[in-house]
Structures are given as C-alpha cells and as structure tokens.
Structure 1
C-alpha cells in the first residue's frame, strides 16, 4: 500500500486515508466526504466515513431521472463538484477519479459529496506519467504523450461528467472532434451549456478553461 506522512501523526498512513484527511483540513468542506475514524492493519485498513442520508451515487441519481438531467439540476450539482475539486487541489490533493460513481447526492437537499480517494496523489507542479483512475474519463494527452497535469485533467473529467449528465451517453470520437472545433450542438441544450462543454473538452489541455475560473462561466449565470 502507498503510504503518506502527515504532520501530527507519529507514523505514515495509507495514501487514501491521508489524502481524505488532507482534503478535509481547515474549515468544514460540505462537498467532500468526512473521515470519522480509521484502523490501519498489517494487510488492510478500515475507514469509517460519515454517510449522508438519504443519498445515492450520481449514476443512480441520473438513471432515476430518465438517464439525463435538465440543465438546472445539472448546474446545481456540477457547481458543487467544481468546488470540491478546487478545495482538493488547494489542499495539495489530486483526486484523479472524479466520476458519477464517486459522487454522492442527497436527494432531499441536492448536496453533493466527493468520495473515494484511492486513485489520488499529492499535487505537483510537473507532469504525471502514470495514469490512475477511470479510462472513460481519461484525457487525450495521456494516450498521445503519456503525460498530463492535474488541473487540465480534472477539467476534462468535469467536462465528461457534464456531458454524460445532460446527454444520456458517453461522447463518441465524432462528438469530441466537433466539440474540439466548437461546432457541436444538441437539441434542447442551451448555447451556454454547449460552450461550457467546449471549454472543458478541448483536446489541447492548454486550451481548456482554467479550473479555478470554471464557476465564473456564463452557463452558471443563466437564470433558472
């Protein structure tokens, strides 16, 4: 198991535990699952986390809503996911596996919580060369040159997440080609939503929207 040394802890802890603790440092972060306790054994560890009730993962939530969400609902949810991603990076945590199955939704309050830091890593300025996470959310630079940076990769994952939330399916290569050219459309989606998808899913990572500025996009200014 990968280990991590944390200030205030006498010995190293499993990476997943350490990253979860780091992501929750400082003021309470409602968008990130809280670790209540853990037990580190020789060949395994146990994590006790606060389970929001009632809650289901985002994939099930979308399925129960007819396989896709309206823009208003998608906007409420992904705004919180963006906040969670930014908090993680602010605390030097790179989650690396933001996807529907790792997001819990409270059906009463519509509050989202990011879970499962098993694929995570510490933030670094230089490129990562080992992929960890879910292939469906993998950005093109990983297969093109085997290198990727934390923030552009996170933005790509958020773009894939948004696409699947409002379109019912995973984007095809043809979709991604049109999106990269900013010429993709879908009946029923606003221009602002399409532009948000364009901003996230550019094949060139340097052309993607800045993670810290995602919440300022025009799509989030649309009146409900």
Structure 2
C-alpha cells in the first residue's frame, strides 16, 4: 500500500455523496479499470492523529484505524483501503467499491422498509463478524449502523465502512461518543461513559432491530419495546438475540463472541445457500 495517491492513476467519474467531513467519488483505477471509491476529507483544526506499528509518522485517525482493521489476512466484511495520501489540508483514501451495492439503509428501504428474518440473519452475521475482527485487531469502529454497512445487491456480501468516528480499542472506559446518537448505548446517556464491546453489541442490536421492524428502538421506553420483540413471524431465537443485544445493563449484555455463537446462527451457511438458490 502506498502513501502517495497519484491523480493520474485514478479517473474520477462522479460524486457519490457528501457529508459533514468528507466527499466520496465514484472512480476507476486507470491501469486495470478497477472500480474504486475515492474519499476526500478536509482537515479540521483539531484533527486527530494516531501512531500505529510499521508507520514512522502518526496518521489521520480514519486512515490509521482502517489500516489496523485490514492489516494481515484480508477481512471480506471490512472495506479494503487500496491507497491513501495525507496532505496539509486534506487526506485522500482510495477504497474498494463493490458493484452493484447500496448502503444498508437504502437497501432496506428498497425492500419496503424491512427485510425478512432470513435476510437479516445473513446481514447480521457479516456485520458482527466485521465488528469482531475490528475488536481482534484493536479497532473500535464506534459507528456501526445501517448507513455504514454496504451490501452487494447481487451476492448479499456486506462490508463495514467509515472509520472516521472510531478509536483504538481499549479495555478502559471511553468518555466520548462520536457515533450516531440513535445507535448510542444507554450507559453513555446515563453516565457519559461506555466500554467498547458492549457499546458495539448495542449498535449491532439497533441495526438488527431496524432491519426487521422498520424503525429504531427507543431505549427510554424499552419496556414497551419488549412487547414488540415477539411479534408474529419472528422466531424465538431471533427475538432472543435482539433482547440480548439490547440489554440495558452493559454487564449483562451479550458478548461479541456469544453473538456469533448464538443459536439463531446455527444454520447460517445452509440458510445463506438456500437464500441464494
């Protein structure tokens, strides 16, 4: 991976989206026509830099975390960083761009606002795998949500994107939350502090809930929400996982490892094969 993006190496086709901190463009790599996404981020005065192994100089947080998350054996469920460049007033990231794909929010909307339990299971397995790999590689993505998961609409392959709100994974408490508030764990609202793993599991639970119900859960009124978790058509295993992820007490919330070991996923490979056929 190089740290110098040569503009002659990439052809920008069009702008895909623009947010508060960056702009993403659709592009291709000139030498082989590979489809890529080029993200340009203007630097703020308080931009964070992080030091990571094998890099002599500190890097912008988003670049450093994505390098850590994808270092070594490739993780299919995490977007790959192909190239990057750090300039004085901005940085550029060249990312793989699955095609055809949508972010999960648009994908769910295209299905009428919700997806089937079988499809949610396939997506949730991959999202949790991505989160677990981030944990193993020392990265707290901190903003897992529908909009930050890309899905290939042909293959149903899912990839976690956007590490701009993330941080280095640590066992101690975080006193700052930079993710999306609707996915923020209740302990941060109550005590203004959280731990990485239970916060990640909560955001996965919100994501699963939103896919199946078409709206976001309100932890201020979870007693009422629990009555909706056992609606007709959902398996008891699915409802059990939702409740375990959205446990108000972070000390009782299910672990990332146990999410992947949950009985809801016992037949995930067979279920995915059946869905494809």
Q: Identify the TM-score tier after normalising by the shorter chain.
A: over 0.9
* Aligned partner of residue 85 in structure 2, secondary structure: strand
| Aligned residue among 194, 213, 218 for 1:167 | 213
Q: How much has 1:39 moved relative to structure 2?
A: 1.1
Q: Which has the larger radius of gyration?
A: 2
| Aligned residue among 226, 231, 239 for 1:194 | 239
Q: Is 1:101 paired with 2:131? A: no
| Aligned residue among 109, 126, 129 for 1:83 | 129
Contact 1:179 1:197 in 2 (8 A): no
C-alpha separation between the residues in 1 aligned to 2:115 and 2:229? 19
C-alpha separation between the residues in 1 aligned to 2:264 and 2:138? 28
Q: How much has 1:151 moved relative to structure 2?
A: 0.3
C-alpha separation between the residues in 2 aligned to 1:31 and 1:68? 22
Number of residue pairs matched by the alignment: 223
**What TM-score do the two structures reach when normalised by structure 2?**
0.77
**What TM-score do the two structures reach when normalised by structure 1?**
0.95
Residue 264 of structure 2 is matched in structure 1 by: 219
Deviations for 1:96-124, whole angstroms, at most 9, x for unmatched residues? 00001110000111100000000000011
C-alpha separation between the residues in 1 aligned to 2:228 and 2:118? 23
C-alpha separation between the residues in 1 aligned to 2:153 and 2:257? 27
Q: Which has the higher helix share?
A: 1
C-alpha separation between the residues in 2 aligned to 1:134 and 1:76? 23
Higher relative contact order (CA 8 A, sep 6+): 1
**Structure 1: segments with no counterpart, 5+ residues:** none
C-alpha separation between the residues in 1 aligned to 2:77 and 2:197? 18
